Structure 1
Amino acid sequence: METKDLIELEFNGYKVYGLSRGSIETGSTLGIFVMFPGNDVTVYFYFNNMKPEYRNFESVNDYKKQRDQFIEEYTKYLTTCKDE
Structure 2
Amino acid sequence: MDQRSYQLQYFAMLKEWAGVDKEEMSSSATTPRELYKELRDKRNFPLSDTELRVAINGDFTDFDHNLAEGDQIAFIPPVSGG
With the length of structure 1 as denominator, give the TM-score of the two structures. 0.30
Question: Could you say which structure has the larger radius of gyration?
Answer: 1
| TM-score, length basis structure 2 | 0.30
Higher RCO by CA contacts (8 Å cutoff, separation 6 or greater): 2
Structure ranking higher in strand proportion: 1
